[in-house]
Chains A and B, each alone.
Chain A
Amino acid sequence: MTQGERFFAGSLVIGLFALSLLPLTFESGEDSFPFSSYPMFSRPRRQAETVQALALDEKRRAHVLPPSVVGSEEAMQAAATLRRAAAGGGRRAKTLCRHIARRVAADGNLTGAIAVEIARISYDPVRYLTAGPTPGRRRRVVRCKVPR
Chain B
Amino acid sequence: MSTPEALWRWAAPAAPPARLAALRISAGGFALVYLIVRTGYLTSYAELPSQTFHPVGVASWLEQPLPPAAVYVLHALALATGGLYLLGARFRLSGPVFAALLLWVLTYRNSWSMIFHTENLLVLHVIVIGLSRAADAWAFDAKRDAPPSARYGWAIRTLSALTVLSYVLAGVAKLRNTGWEWALGDALRVQVAYDTVRKIELGSFHSPLGAYLVRHAWVFPPLALATMALELGAPLALLRERWGRIWAFGAWGFHWGVLALMAITFPYALSGFQFFSFFRVETWSPLQATARAVKWLARRAPRLGATTLLTFALLAVTSHTRADEKARAGPSMETMTDADAHDAAPPPSRAASPSPSRRAVAIAGAIVPGLVVHGTGHYVLGRTGTGSRLLALEGIGAGMFLAGGVPIVLTGANRFVVGPAAALVIAGFGVWSMTWLADVYGVSWPEHARGRAPRHLPRLQTELGYLYVDHPQFSFHHLFEQALDFRHGRLRLRPSAVFASDDANVRFRVLGSWRWLGTGAARATTGDGSFTDVDVALTHHRYDSDGFSIATAEAMLNGRLDLGRLAVDLTGSFGEFGLGLGLQAFDYDVPALGFATDIEQLLLARFGFGAYLGAPDEQGGEVSIYYDHRHDGYAAGLRLGGLGSGVAGHFGLSANWYFDAAWGVALRAEVGSAYLTGFSLLFRQGTAR
In angstroms, Cα B526 to Cα A109, docked, is 13
Q: Is A118 engaged at the interface, CB distance under 8 Å to the other chain? A: no
Is A59's beta carbon under 8 Å from chain B?
no
Q: What are 13 pairs between A and B in contact, CB < 8 Å? A: A16-B162, A24-B169, A32-B57, A33-B119, A35-B57, A39-B173, A43-B187, A48-B198, A70-B333, A73-B569, A96-B333, A99-B333, A129-B193
Give Cα A36–Cα B332 distance, bound, in whole angstroms. 32
In the complex, whether B346 has a CB less than 8 A from a CB of chain A is yes
**B229 contacts chain A at the CB level, 8 A cutoff:** no
With A9-B155, A34-B107 known, 10 other A-B pairs at CB within 8 A are A1-B151, A12-B128, A31-B115, A42-B176, A64-B203, A68-B349, A81-B333, A102-B341, A106-B346, A126-B214
Query: Cβ of B334: which chain A residues have Cβ within 8 Å of it?
Result: 81, 84
Give A residues with C-beta under 8 Å from B.
1, 5-6, 9-10, 12-13, 16-17, 20-21, 23-24, 28, 31-46, 48, 50, 52, 64, 66-81, 84-85, 88, 91, 94-96, 98-99, 102-103, 105-107, 109, 121, 123, 125-126, 128-130, 133
- The contact of B190 among A5, A44, A91, by CB within 8 Å, is A44
B169, A105: Cβ atoms closer than 8 Å: no
- Whether B385 contacts A75 by the Cβ 8 Å rule is yes
Contacts of B190 in A (CB 8 A): 44-46, 125-126
B199: A residues at CB distance < 8 A:
75
Q: Is the interface of A mostly helix, strand, loop or mixed?
A: helix
Decide yes or no: A99 and B200 within 8 Å by CB, A34-B106, A34-B120, A48-B194 being known contacts.
Answer: no
Inter-chain CA distance A52–B197, complex, in Å, is 13
B403 within 8 A of A: no
| A117-B258 Cα distance, complex, nearest whole Å | 35
Nearest-CB distance from A1 to chain B (Å)? 5
Residues on A with C-beta less than 8 A from B215 are: 129-130
Interface SS of B by simple majority? helix
Contacts A20-B165, A34-B103, A95-B337 given; indicate if A73 touches B194 (C-beta within 8 A): no
Q: Decide yes or no whether B177 CB sits under 8 A from chain A.
A: yes
- A24-B172 in contact (CB<8A): yes
Give which listed residue, B178, B337, B349, contacts A69 with CB less than 8 A.
Answer: B349
Q: Does B158 lie within 8 Å of A13, measured CB to CB?
A: yes
Known contacts A35-B57, A41-B191, A50-B198; A1/B385 CB under 8 A: no
Please judge, given known A-B contacts A76-B385, A96-B333, whether A133 and B200 are in contact too, CB under 8 Å.
yes
Contact with A along B199-237 (1 / 0, CB 8 A): 111111000000100110000000000000000000000
* Cα separation A1 to B148 with both chains bound (whole Å): 11
Does A36 contact B115, Cβ atoms closer than 8 Å? yes
Question: Is B328 engaged at the interface, CB distance under 8 Å to the other chain?
Answer: no
Tell me if B321 counts as interface (CB < 8 A to partner A): no
The contact size tier of chain B is: 35 or more
Which residues from B are CB-within-8-Å of A21? 165, 169
Question: Closest CB of chain A to B122's CB: distance in Å?
Answer: 8
Residues on B close to A: CB < 8 A?
A: 8, 11-12, 51-52, 56-57, 103, 106-107, 110, 113, 115, 117, 119-121, 123-124, 127-128, 131-132, 149-151, 154-155, 158, 161-162, 165-166, 169-170, 172-174, 176-178, 182, 186-191, 193-194, 196-204, 211, 214-215, 332-334, 336-338, 341, 344, 346-351, 383-385, 568-569
Which 8 pairs show the lowest CB-CB distances between chains A and B? A125-B193, A106-B346, A38-B170, A44-B187, A75-B204, A42-B173, A74-B385, A44-B190
Across-interface contacts of A128 in B (CB, < 8 A): 193, 197
Query: Which one of A31, A46, A52, A129 has the greatest number of beta carbons of chain B within 10 Å?
Result: A129
The smallest C-beta distance from A23 to any residue of chain B, in angstroms, reads 7
Chain A CB count within 10 A is highest, among B11, B123, B198, for: B198
Q: Chain B residues near A40 (CB, 8 Å)?
A: 117, 170
Chain A neighbourhood of B197, CB < 8 A: 48, 123, 125, 128-129
A95 touches B110 (CB 8 A): no
